[in-house]
Amino acid sequence: MNYKKWKIGFSVSIIFGLLTAGAGLAAGMTWQAFVAVLCTSLVTQLAAYLMKHPVEDISDDPPPFRPPLWIFAALVLPIALTACKTPRLEPGGAYAPTNSVGQVVYSDTGLMLSDASYKLAYETVGAVFKFERDNRIAIWKLSPVVKSELDNLRPQVVDIDRRWAMARKTYRSNPTPAGLTAVQSILSEIQRIIPVVQQQMNPIYSKLTTTQ
Amino acid sequence: MPPIILAIIPFIEAAIKFAPDATKIYEDARNLFAMWFHGGLITIEQQDRLRDWADNHETATLSGITPPEFTVEANPD
C-alpha cells in the first residue's frame, strides 16, 4: 500500500473515532465520560486499522503530486460555474451600462464570465511561470527539466493570449454569439494548459519528498 | 544547522516570494465563487474592476507587451 492510501485510511479511522465519541457527547454525556469514550474509540479504531495495515506495509514510492489549492480551484471553477444559475449584473457597471435616464443599454453576462474565467486561468498559469523564474537557480539545481518543459509552454500561452486579445477586440467591436464563442473557445485552450503547467512541477515535488 | 533545514530554506524563501501571487489568485477565485453563490449579483465595482483588467490586458497584449515570466530566457550556468 502506498503512503497516500495508507494516510487516507488512517484519517478515516480517526474520523470514525471522533464520530463515535461525538455521538455520545450529543446524547448528553459529561465531559469526563466524553474524554473516556473518545480515547477508547480512537484506540479501538486506530488499533484495528494498524493491525490490518501496519506501518511496515507502506511502500517507499513517493506519493503522487498534490496540486496546491488554488490550482484545484482554478480547475474546478469552470465545471462548478456551468452548474450554477447565470449571475445578474448590477445596472450601471461596465458590463451593463445605462443611458442618461438609467435604462440598461445592454447586458453582457457572457463577456463578463469569459473575462473572469480568463483572468483566473491566465494568472494561475502566470503564477507558475513566475514561481519558476523567481526561483530558477534553486529549481534548476533540483531538476533542469522543469525550465525546459515550461519553456515549451511559454510560447504557447503567449500565442493563446494574443489570439484571445484579438478575438475579444473583435467581439467588442461587433458583439455576436459567434464572436463570443470564439473568445470562449480560446478561454478553454488556456484552461487546458493549467494542469499541464502544474504537472511540470512534479519533479520538484518528488525531489522534495525523497530528500525528506 | 541540520542539513534538512539547509535544504528546505530555499523553498521557504520561494514560498514567501510566491505568497502575493497566490493571494491574488485566491482573491480572484473567491470573488468568482462569491459572484455565483451569494445571490449572483455582480456589483458595479466588481464589473468595473474586472473590465479594467480585461481591457488593459487586451491592450497590452495587442501592443506586444509580454510579462518577463512568459518569455523564454537563457538557462542558468
* A63 or A206, higher pLDDT: A206
Give the range with max mean pLDDT: A69-73, A75-79, A150-154.
A150-154
So what's the ipTM on this one? 0.73
Within an 8 Å CB–CB cutoff, is residue A72 touching chain B? no
* B35 or A51, higher pLDDT: A51
Q: What is the mean pLDDT of residues B30-38?
A: 63
- pLDDT for res A5: 73
How confident is the model over A124-140, as pLDDT tens digits? 899 899 989 998 998 88
User: Most distant CA pair in chain A: distance in Å?
Assistant: 75
CA distance B8 to chain A (A): 8
Nearest C-alpha in A relative to B42: A89
CB-CB under 8 Å, B4 with A154:
no
How confident is the model over A176-205, as pLDDT tens digits? 999 999 999 999 999 899 888 878 877 776
Question: Of A140, A138, A209, nearest to B16 (Cα)?
Answer: A138
- pLDDT for res B15: 63
CB-CB under 8 Å, B14 with A131:
yes
pLDDT above 80 for A108: yes
Instruction: Give the one of A93, A126, A129 whose C-beta lies nearest to B48's C-beta.
Output: A93
Give the per-residue SS3 of A159-196. HHHHHHHHHHHHHHHCCCHHHHHHHHHHHHHHHHHHHH
Cα separation of A13 and B55, whole Å? 52
Q: What is the CA radius of gyration of chain B?
A: 19
Average pLDDT in chain A: 80
How many beta-carbon pairs below 8 A join chains A and B? 158
Cα separation of A100 and B8, whole Å? 60
- pLDDT for res A83: 47
Within an 8 Å CB–CB cutoff, is residue A153 touching chain B? no
pLDDT above 90 for A207: no
User: In this structure, are residues A4 and A64 in contact, taking their beta carbons and an 8 Å threshold?
Assistant: yes
B42 Cβ neighbours under 8 A, 6+ residues apart: A87, A88, A89, A90, A93, A95, A112, B35
CB-CB under 8 Å, B76 with A93:
no
How confident is the model over B45-73, as pLDDT tens digits? 989 999 999 999 999 999 999 999 999 99
pLDDT above 60 for A77: no
Q: Which of A2-6, A69-73, A150-154, A198-202 has the lowest mean pLDDT?
A: A69-73
How confident is the model over A21-45, as pLDDT tens digits? 666 555 555 566 667 667 776 777 7
pLDDT band at A6 (very low <50, low <70, confident <90, very high): confident
Residues of B in contact with A129 (CB under 8 A): 69-70
